[in-house]
Amino acid sequence: MLLRASGALSGETFNLNVVTNGATTVPSNVPHGETLVAFAEAVVGESEAALTVAQQCVLVELGPEALVDAAAVASNFERMVRIADSTGIPLDAVVYEHTMDERKELHLERFGSAANTPKA
């Protein structure tokens, strides 16, 4: 799927599938898009080594200001996810099962948003 909305002002067409599908046969057309996607994947991944490599790639290709910007964007998305979770988006079954003790200890069911998570 090619989306034009993000490039409407510049007249560019961007392949935003790389955000959810990783590498595709169609380039993203986002300047340094593949490097930025690799950085985003490393931020949410579990490998400190992969994050270090991704940080260095952003630093070398785009410079220190872009690395700060990329880290800020990734941090903002993490913040948004936490806010969404706290406002009532239901927990998936695995998280529900693994957090039962903590949720009980903290009496999280007292919050209205707890009603959004179906009982496992």
Average pLDDT of the chain is 80
Least confidently predicted of 17-26, 86-95, 104-113: 17-26
Instruction: Give residue-wise pLDDT tens across range 61-73.
Output: 999 999 999 999 9
Q: Is pLDDT above 70 for 22? A: no
pTM over 0.95: no
Provide DSSP, 39-93: HHHHHHSS-HHHHHHHHHHHHHHH-HHHHHHHHHHHHHHHHHHHHHHHTTPPPPH
Q: Helix (H) and strand (E) counts for the chain?
A: 6, 0
